[in-house]
Amino acid sequence: MATAARKAPAKSKSDGKSGLSAPKPAEFTKDEELAAYRHMLLIRRFEEKAGQLYGMGFIGGFCHLYIGQEAVVTGMKMALIDGDQMITAYRDHGHMLAMELSPRGVMAELTGRRGGLSRGKGGSMHMFSKEKHFYGGHGIVGAQVSLGTGLAFANRYRENNNVSLTYFGDGAANQGQVYESFNMASLWKLPVIYIIENNRYAMGTSVSRSSAETNFSHRGASFKIPGIQVDGMDVRAVKSAGDQAAEWCRAGNGPIILEMQTYRYRGHSMSDPAKYRSKEEVQKMRSDHDPIEQVKARLIDKKWASEDELKTIDKEVRDIVADAAEFAQNDAEPDPSELWTDIVL
Partner 1 sequence: MPIEILMPALSPTMEEGNLSKWLKNEGDKVVAGDVIAEIETDKATMEVEAVDEGTIGKILIAAGTEGVKVNTPIAVLLQDGESAADVGKSAAPAKAEVPAKAEAPSEEKVEAAKPAAAPVAAAPKTEIAADPDIPAGTEMVSTTVREALRDAMAEEMRRDGDVFVMGEEVAEYQGAYKITQGLLQEFGPRRVVDTPITEHGFAGVGVGAAMAGLKPIVEFMTFNFAMQAIDQIINSAAKTLYMSGGQMGAPIVFRGPNGAAARVAAQHSQCYAAWYSHIPGLKVVMPYTAADAKGLLKAAIRDPNPIIFLENEILYGQSFDVPKLDDFVLPIGKARIHKQGKDVTIVSFGIGMTYAVKAEAELRGLGIDAEIIDLRTIRPLDLDTIIASVKKTNRLVVVEEGFPQSSVGDHIANQVSQRAFDFLDAPVITIAGKDVPMPYAANLEKLALPNVGEVIEAVKAVAYR
Look at residues 21, 74, 94, 91 and name the one whose alpha carbon lies nearest to residue 258: 21
Instruction: Check residue 146 for interaction with partner 1 (CB under 8 A).
Output: yes
Cβ-Cβ contacts under 8 Å for 230 (sequence gap 6 or more):
6, 22, 237, 238, 241, 258, 259, 260, 261
Query: Could you tell me which residues are beta bridge partners of residue 198?
Result: 261
Q: Smallest distance from the beta carbon of 239 to partner 1, in angstroms?
A: 25
Pick 118 or 294: Cβ nearer partner 1: 118
Stretch that binds partner 1, among 1-9, 41-49, 150-158, 199-207 (CB under 8 A): 150-158
List helix spans (H) across 132-270.
143-158, 176-187, 207-210, 235-250
* 87 vs 228, beta carbon nearer partner 1: 87
Mapped onto helix, strand or coil, the DSSP state of residue 218 is helix
Closest CA to 109 of 137, 151, 73: 137
- The smaller minimum CB distance to partner 1, of residues 74 and 181, is found at 181
Number of neighbours of residue 52 by Cβ within 10 angstroms: 12
Q: Is 240 in the site for partner 1 (CB under 8 A)?
A: no
Strands (E), the chain: 85-87, 164-169, 192-198, 201-202, 205-206, 227-231, 256-261
Minimum distance, C-beta of residue 284 to partner 1, in the bound complex (Å): 38
x/- mask, partner 1, residues 314-343, rule CB under 8 A, reads: ---------------------------xxx
Buried b (16+ CB within 10 A) or exposed e, 97-133: bbbebbbbbbbbbbbbbebbbbbbbbbbbbbbbeebb
Stretch that binds partner 1, among 52-60, 179-187, 272-280, 316-324 (CB under 8 A): 179-187
Does 276 help bind partner 1 (rule: CB under 8 A)?
Answer: no
Q: Which of 118, 199, 229, 294 binds partner 1 (CB under 8 A)?
A: 118
* 136 counts as binding partner 1 under rule CB under 8 A: yes
**In the set 36, 40, 78, 127, which binds partner 1 (CB under 8 A)?**
127
Nearer to partner 1 among residue 4 and residue 344 (C-beta): 344
Positions that interact with partner 1 (CB under 8 A):
85, 87, 116-122, 126-130, 135-140, 143, 145-155, 157, 176-177, 179-181, 183-184, 187-188, 341-345
